[in-house]
Amino acid sequence: MTNQLIENKSLEKVLEVVKEKEIDRVFLVACGGSSALMYSSKYILDRDSTTMTTEVYSSNEFIYRNPATLNKNSLVILCSHLGKTPETTEAAKFAKSKGALTVSFTYIDDSPLAKESDLVIGYEYGPGIDPAESRNILIIQLTLGLLKVKESSKKYDKLVASLPNLKAVCDKAIEYYAQDALDFADKYKDEKMIYTMASGSNYGVAYTFAICILMEMQWINSHAIHAGEFFHGPFEILDKDTPFILLLGLDETRYMEERALKFTKEYGEKLIILDAKDLDFKGIDKEIRGEIASVVLLYVLRAFSRKLADVRNHPLEKRRYMFKVPY
Amino acid sequence: MTNQLIENKSLEKVLEVVKEKEIDRVFLVACGGSSALMYSSKYILDRDSTTMTTEVYSSNEFIYRNPATLNKNSLVILCSHLGKTPETTEAAKFAKSKGALTVSFTYIDDSPLAKESDLVIGYEYGPGIDPAESRNILIIQLTLGLLKVKESSKKYDKLVASLPNLKAVCDKAIEYYAQDALDFADKYKDEKMIYTMASGSNYGVAYTFAICILMEMQWINSHAIHAGEFFHGPFEILDKDTPFILLLGLDETRYMEERALKFTKEYGEKLIILDAKDLDFKGIDKEIRGEIASVVLLYVLRAFSRKLADVRNHPLEKRRYMFKVPY
């Protein structure tokens, strides 16, 4: 694989390259929020692929764990928004040294990560963009595309046909929860600890809200609890004073999220419930709503985070360590 | 596979059965603390196996996710101490329905889980037992045994030769940290939030201490942070008032734990540091110390939890929901 392909930012073009390569392992490698957005891709591949097995690793865990099955038949998908997360760039180098094909999502064309990757997929970013052009959707599109070129899955085409309608779905979802977002900010602005909870393809959204929004951007203690694990330890922490954000998606693990909701409703009082079933997914093919719901929930939660930051007078951009001190 | 094998609680006998079966996937399936103790097995297989790929799933996530690669070439290892965790028993049934071989760790011979499993491995439990007979070590022994019968790994024999010395190592480790355990209990007894942190094969120990000891048994908020992920969000929560328990093991990911330690020492003050490098591993083969260190750290942390429970006058057995209300 030569570096000339770096210039190629078309997802369809990436799929052409992938199609010609033997792949039995997919490694999803990134850090923090960039890692969290890959969880739904693992969910999709776990459920649907009979020929490829999938791992999600934080970049340095990937390097130091040094998986014995990482080799020339591996596809390594990486992500770093600015493309300068050192451990993710190192992970791309490491993967290439093992003969793997590396495909990176990054916003910056000539970033260190882009330079170390065989193929790069760009995306749109910032307020007002079409979610269909965001990395959150493009990685799902790549995943379903992989399943199309390798295992003739029909979901890729269904996704592509649905994408023109996604922005309206997200906009309506944010509107539907607008008052809840205000209430959330007002009611929970002084909380020291807010838990999040989800399962399946939505767990990554719970994780990113816990570690990136609450801990990183608001300095509020948090922990993303898996809705199934909840009943095997964490639920003992629940009382009427402990805030929980519960996500209910549309995938096959929804039973776990509903079970956790029932219990938290019985013994808790500070509950913020986001349920994709209450949202209007018009124009999104029914067969891919489970895959898409996590992204819609993330858009809604981002609106929640903006209200929270406003009311707390703690801008989402405020940091004490990140990019400010050596680490 | 007939149920007559249920009676067989010898690990060596299980390996004889496993040796004759084609296995390309290993699923480690359990809930809560029983799941956490399997993380080190995934670490070992990820690093060392070229022919088997491995997943850790909470039991209901396993069932509802319904992995497409679960089939007659799968080994599903389950664990439930009393063998009556409903979702783990269901997971065993589900795995068998897909043709997989099921091997369960359970303390109760005729438990529901035992009855639904092809093979059962028993273990010792309770204060004063030899750690070499605990499920924490036996699952590592099964994992290394799997690598021996399938890929001629030498580590199994090194482990077996080392096991007679493990109790002394654990006892000395607890003794080494005895004063720290008292100090920890005294200093942090009124904390509302205590984070834990580790990487690699030690992450499961951080996870079990967070969700089972702190949240479940002490009703203290917690969250097990991955030492690599720490720098991509969670570290912004760190200040001089936030307690962190840092685990440093002996596996290949130790760099991440050292990096997290360096940073928390610079910006934090409430640090509890357990470093396997400070312990005496005499009699444990050098090549398997990375695998064993997590279990030794767990034994030390259990001693910490007993002191904490004493000082807080909150017995480790105290529950408000578990086994007391429907869920």
pLDDT of residue A68: 98
Query: Are the C-beta atoms of residues A57 and A65 closer than 8 Å to each other?
Result: yes
Distance from C-alpha of A47 to C-alpha of A61, rounded to nearest angstrom: 24
For residue A322, what are its two tokens? 């990140």
pLDDT (tens digit per residue) in B192-232: 999 999 999 999 999 999 999 999 999 999 999 999 999 99
For residues B101 and B72, what is the distance between their CA atoms, to the nearest angstrom?
7
Residues of A in contact with B238 (CB under 8 A): 321
Residues whose CB falls within 8 Å of the CB of residue B93, separated by 6 or more in sequence, listed in order: B116
Residue-wise pLDDT tens digits, A118-139: 999 999 999 889 999 999 999 9
Range 268-327 of B in CB contact (< 8 A) with A: 319-322, 327
pLDDT in tens, A24-57: 999 999 999 999 999 999 999 999 999 999 999 9
Q: What is the pLDDT of residue B185?
A: 98
**Token duo for residue B132:** 């070499």
The rounded distance, in Å, linking the Cα atoms of B232 and A246 is 23
Q: Tell me, what amino acid is at A78?
A: L
The alpha carbon of B198 is separated from its chain's Cα centroid by a whole number of angstroms, namely: 13
A200 part of contact set with chain B, CB < 8 Å: yes
* Residue among B193, B200, B215 whose CB faces A221 most closely: B193
Best CATH choice for the domain B163-312 from the list 3.40.50.12570, 3.20.20.105, 3.30.420.10, 1.10.10.60: 3.40.50.12570
pLDDT for A4 equals: 45
Q: What fold does the segment set A3-153 form as a domain?
A: Rossmann fold (3.40.50)
The Cα–Cα gap between A173 and A279 comes to 6
Query: Is there a contact between A237 and B252 if contact means CB atoms under 8 Å apart?
Result: no
Q: Which of B230, B251, B291 is nearest to A212 (CA)?
A: B230
* CA B321 to the chain's CA centroid: 23
The CATH architecture to which A164-312 belongs is 3-Layer(aba) Sandwich (3.40)
CB contact under 8 A, A53 and B25: yes
Nearest chain B Cα to A226, which residue?
A: B58
Return the pLDDT at B8: 55
| Residue keyed to tokens 């929004």 | A213
The string of DSSP letters for B174-210 reads HHHTHHHHHHHHHHHTT-SEEEEEE-GGGHHHHHHII
SS3 A57: strand
Question: Other C-beta atoms within 10 Å of B230: how many?
Answer: 30
Query: Residue A21: left if φ>0, alpha if ψ -120 to 50, beta else—which one?
Result: beta
Question: Coil, strand or helix: which one is B305?
Answer: helix
Is there a shared CATH topology between the A3-153 domain and the A164-312 domain?
yes
C-alpha separations of B191 from B206, B219, B220, B308, B312 in Å: 18, 11, 7, 11, 11
ipTM for the assembly: 0.97
Tell me which residue of A135, A110, A155 sits closest to A36, measured CA to CA: A135
* A2 has pLDDT over 70: no
Task: Tell me the residues of chain A between 237 and 256 that have a Cβ less than 8 Å away from chain B.
Answer: 237-238, 242, 252-253, 255-256
Separation CA A273–CA A248 (nearest Å):
8
Q: What are phi and psi of A256, to 5 degrees?
A: -65, -40
Size of interface A-B (CB pairs under 8 A): 197
Sequence ranges of the domains in chain A: 3-153, 164-312
The model's confidence at residue A8, banded by pLDDT at 50, 70 and 90, is low
Q: For A240-285, write each residue's pLDDT tens digit.
A: 999 999 999 999 999 999 999 999 999 999 999 999 999 999 999 9
Residue with tokens 């009124």: B190
Residue A51: CB atoms within 10 Å: 13
Supply A257's token pair.
Answer: 């999220």
- Residue for token pair 């990486």: A78
Low-confidence residues of chain B: pLDDT under 50: 1-6
Residue A6 pLDDT more than 60? no
pLDDT at position A298 over 50 = yes
**Is B163 in contact with B176 (CB distance < 8 Å)?**
no
| Cα–Cα distance for residue pair B23/B29, rounded to 1 Å | 16
